[in-house]
Every structure is written in C-alpha cells, then in structure tokens.
Amino acid sequence: MSGSAGNADGEAEAPTGSRRAIVAKRVDSGEADLAEISQLAAAAGYEVAGELTQTRTEDAAFMFGEGKVAELRDLVRRTDAEAVIVDNDVGPYQTFNIGGVLPEGVEVVDRFTLILEIFGQRANTRKAQLQVELAELRYELPRAEAKASLAKRDERPGFMGLGEYDESVERDIKRQISEIRDELESIAEKEEARREQRRDSGFELVALAGYTNAGKSTLMRRLADELAVDENDDRHRDLDTTAESQDMLFTTLGTTTRRAEMEKRDVLLTDTVGFISDLPHWLVESFESTLDSVYRADLVLLVVDASEPVAEMREKLVTSHDTLYERNEAPVVTVFNKVDRLAPGELAEKRAALSGVAPDPIAVSAKTGAGVAELRDRVEDELPDWERERLVLPVSDDAMSLVSWVHDHGYVAEETYAGDQVTVDFEAKPSIVARARAKAAEVSAPPAEESA
C-alpha cells in the first residue's frame, strides 16, 4: 500500500494550465503499477500531483477500503487536486460513494473514462469522432441499464443518489449506436474500395501495429522520409503527408498513411492507434474500422519497445498476437525498436528470452536510424512474391505508354531497344503482370484493316 504526493521521476512536464490529479489503483495481489495510468493522465492534460495504491480484494461500496478512501481524501486536500483518476473499472455506485468522501467539486475518473477523454481530444476526422462517440455510448449503455434496474427495484428514481433515470435514455442510446454503426460501415466500404484502388496501382499495403509509445509514428517517419506522398499525384490525393511522433500516448488516433519507396516495391505505410493493456471488448470493437487497416494489410510490422522489461515485452507481444491473428492473414514481422537505449549485450539477452513469442525479430532504432536499412530489406522479403515477366513490343506511342505504366506499377530490371522493338524485363504483383500482358496483347495486335 502507498500514498504519495509529487510526480514520478522522468515523467513529462504537464502542460501549462492543466488540472491537478491524484492517480490511484487497487490490485488483488502484488504491487500496483501506476506508470501507464500516469502517462494516460498526462496525455489527457492532467498534472499528476500524487499517487495512491492499495493491495486488497475489491470493496463493493468503494472499490478501495474505507480507510484508504479517507487517505485519498487527505491526499487530495494536501495537493489541491481537482480530480482523482482510478486505474480500475469503477462502477457508478462506487464512483458516487468515493465522490461523497472527497472534497466538493473533485471529479472521480475511472480508467476507461480517461481513455475516452483522450480519444475525444485526438478525434480530428469524422471517422475518429464517430468511433469515440460509439465507445462512449457503449460505455454508458450498461450503466443506463443498471440505473433502470436499480430504479425499478427501489420503485423510485435516483436510486442510491445515482440521479433520476428515464427509460427512454436507454432506448435512445441503442438507437444512436445503430445509426453510428451504419455510418461507420459506409465509411469502411469506401476505405476498402480505396485500398483495392491502391493495390491496383501497384502499391503494397504495410501496417504498423503495437502498443502506444512503442515508437510507431517515429518509425513511420524514418521509413517514409525519403519519399513522402506526392500531393500532385491524382491517384493518392487522400493520403496524409505527415505523422506525428511525440513522446505521448495516443498521438495517433486515426490512421495516417505515407508512401515509402523500397528498392523494388512501392509501399504505403499506415500507422494506426496504439494498443493499450486491459481494454474491454466494447472499446476494442468501437475502433474495429480503424483496425481494418491492420487486418487488411499485405504485411504487418508489430513494433515493440525493446527498452521495456522482458516480462512487459512478453505480455504485450502475447496480447498483440491475440489481436492480430484473430482476423489477420498477412505475415507479421516483429520489430524491436529503441535499441539505442539498451546496454551492450542486452539485445541478445532479450532476443533469447522472447524467442518463443518473437522468433525472428528485427532490431532498429527509429530515433537514430540504426537497422532501418535491414528493416526495408525484410519488408520486401516478407511481402507476397512477385512474378517475373518479359514483354517484347513494337515501338509506338501506345507501347511507350505501356512501358511507362510498367515502371509505375512494378520493378523494371531491364529495358532495351533493338530496331523497331522494345523489350521490358520486369517484376510485379501477379495482378499487375496479368494486366500488363493484356495491355501488351492490345498494343501488339495488328490494325483491324490489315487483319481483315
């Protein structure tokens, strides 16, 4: 058990004007870890003014024991905190009881409310806003149902001080959930059509996945900085040309896509919202359309913070695999990032310790660029195999257009001219090779009047 004031060492400074908060957590056994909830609080704009933990079984009325709640109240008073952030799933009855002990005006925020608050701050697109709203409604629905049940049982509204309840609220929430699902489904259909258009243009789709603060956005900038999306390219006007990389959780909420050119292949990289531990099913489901960018990719790069302890890395790898392999059929390459933070010999030790869950990881530092060249090679090796083709065409305007198209959609190993013929030796996706053959047949066909 513990209760202390002040910020943890190494914690990022809170933004000016942020609200002061106490972070608290109860665990059934062992030591409670407040590192992640403190990061989440900072990401939401709170200044962590104090910490409190307790190891005991859950108290039905207060989550913590009554004595610990009194300690929490005293800590709030000493630090002038405006909120208490509890790293547990706190029920509405428990929230009401804790709030009743705290000084007036101090808000009680549980883990999932905090996450939704962060998501709401980061939602800058219609899709992201809908997903946040859906998550909020799914969070509220069981609480609305509980209020209805309690009010009926007590035969009066406002059971246990939870507030007056109108049964129409529950119906309205379900209606809104249905409407948002329909709109998100429409957006998902458009995005799937866009993905297929990109594949038809010869692009391979690579998704970055992993936990928050693993360095996905920084790695994306490193991989894509040689060739950002051409804003004048009519085929890809929809692509974002930037991806933030700050030391903050959930900097990336929606998807960000940039173009990266490998040695042979044109690749589109997509960075998505980071995974986070202990997310309930309803919250993961709310962001299912964002995860489609991962599920429907040609290759997934699972980015892991190699500077974390082995036990934490293993837990995150196992959880990530459960999420990825549930629906994903593409190969997954594990990337150990932040190797610049490791002591000599530490990387080899972690490779050996995690060989069961990460049998062939590639080690990089997105910050320094170490290992990125090897990662590029690995990406090309892991992507679906290309076919080799050789076209011999009569020199003409149509043939030159086809040669240009092949350059745009594949990798041309050799292009030679002899007399009135041009020979193109290239590699490309099977679908691109098939289209090139069909175009070549049209270019090489004699004019209709000559064949008559």
Cα radius of gyration (the chain): 27
Residue 51 φ/ψ, nearest 5 degrees: -135, 150
Query: Which residues define the annotated binding site?
Result: 210-217, 252, 271-274, 337-340, 365-367
| Sequence-ordered strand ranges (E) for 79-231 | 83-86, 107-110, 204-210
Structure tokens at 230: 């051409």
- C-beta atoms surrounding 320 within 10 Å: 22
Residue with tokens 């000016």: 16
Closest of 24, 20, 72, 28 to residue 51, by C-alpha: 24
- 284 contacts: CB under 8 Å, gap ≥ 6: 291, 323
* Contact by Cβ (8 Å): 307, 282: no
* Contact by Cβ (8 Å): 26, 32: yes
**CA–CA distance, 250 with 63 (Å, rounded to integer):** 28
CA distances 149 to 59, 143, 213, 394, Å, are: 21, 10, 41, 79
How far does Cα 271 stand from its chain's mean position?
Answer: 7
How far does Cα 97 stand from its chain's mean position?
Answer: 35
Which residues sit opposite 387 in a β-bridge?
428
* Contact by Cβ (8 Å): 361, 334: yes
Query: Which residues define the annotated binding site for Mg(2+)?
Result: 217, 252
* Contact by Cβ (8 Å): 121, 44: yes
Query: Which residues define the annotated binding site for GTP?
Result: 210-217, 271-274, 337-340, 365-367
